[in-house]
């Protein structure tokens, strides 16, 4: 599962047939059914355009994508959220984060061993301690289309934006965050437990926000841009 996750971060357009071939080339005796089962368990699939009818929760309202060609000019203009899979020796966890697009500042994050809405809602409420955005963007996952999640946004008159199905680039900044988190921390540390993972991520996100200069931010840190100290 660790190898599948690492390969997926590099080639998210690989489905289970091609992923199977990659693993076989690396010397692992696996068949397509096993790889397909593991990818389903990890809740990952190849990224390619899909029809709008294949929604995760058809009964939930889906909002249009509002960010195409939109200049992001200031902090709290746009926030976005996403979930990624985190491998552990005895299983896996799910990680959600909320990010400010203008500064790349990670406002909040949470871990869960299920994909239920509650941990996403906890991350949202934690992010609100910094203020609130004009637009909030997510994918069309059931966690983010659930009324429990959209209600706090609508109550604050925040405009809701959702990625098109199969369009990971619609939420490109948080996709880049996941790549950084995994290649700069998780894959290097190979955390042995949930407690170690939680502690390690706390250290990494503090470094990411306050100590890691970003080339796209003229080598300022996200915190310097978000709080206007650069």
User: What pLDDT is stored for residue 55 in this prediction?
Assistant: 37
As averages over each run of 10 residues, the pLDDT of the chain (230 residues) reads 70 71 80 78 54 50 91 95 88 93 97 93 98 95 94 98 67 86 90 95 97 91 88
Q: Where are the domains of the chain?
A: 2-41, 78-226
Classify domain 78-226 by CATH architecture.
Answer: 2-Layer Sandwich (3.30)
Percentage of the residues of the chain whose pLDDT score is greater than 70: 84
- Look at the block and give the residue holding tokens 């170690």: 196
User: What pLDDT is stored for residue 33 in this prediction?
Assistant: 79
Whose CA is closest to 106, among 12, 230, 5, 211?
A: 211
């Amino acid at each position: 599962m660790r190898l599948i996750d690492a390969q997926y971060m590099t080639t998210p357009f690989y489905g289970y047939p091609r992923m199977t071939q990659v693993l076989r080339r690396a010397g692992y005796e696996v068949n397509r059914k096993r790889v397909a089962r593991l990818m389903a368990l990890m809740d990952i699939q190849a990224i390619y355009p899909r029809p709008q009818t294949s929604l995760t929760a058809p009964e939930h309202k889906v909002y249009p994508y509002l960010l195409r060609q939109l200049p992001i000019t200031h902090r709290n203009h746009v926030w976005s959220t996403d979930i990624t899979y985190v491998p552990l020796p005895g299983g896996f966890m799910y990680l959600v984060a909320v990010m400010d697009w203008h500064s790349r500042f990670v406002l909040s994050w949470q871990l869960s061993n299920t994909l239920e809405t509650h941990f996403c809602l906890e991350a949202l409420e934690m992010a609100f301690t910094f203020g609130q955005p004009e637009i909030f963007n997510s994918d069309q996952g059931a966690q983010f289309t659930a009324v429990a999640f959209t209600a706090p946004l609508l109550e604050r008159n925040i405009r809701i934006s959702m990625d098109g199905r199969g369009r990971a680039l619609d939420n490109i900044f948080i996709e880049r965050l996941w790549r950084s988190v995994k290649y700069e921390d998780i894959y290097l540390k190979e955390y042995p437990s949930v407690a170690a993972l939680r502690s390690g991520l706390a250290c990494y996100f503090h470094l990411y926000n306050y100590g890691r200069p970003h080339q796209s931010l003229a080598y300022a840190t996200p915190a310097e841009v978000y709080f206007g100290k650069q």
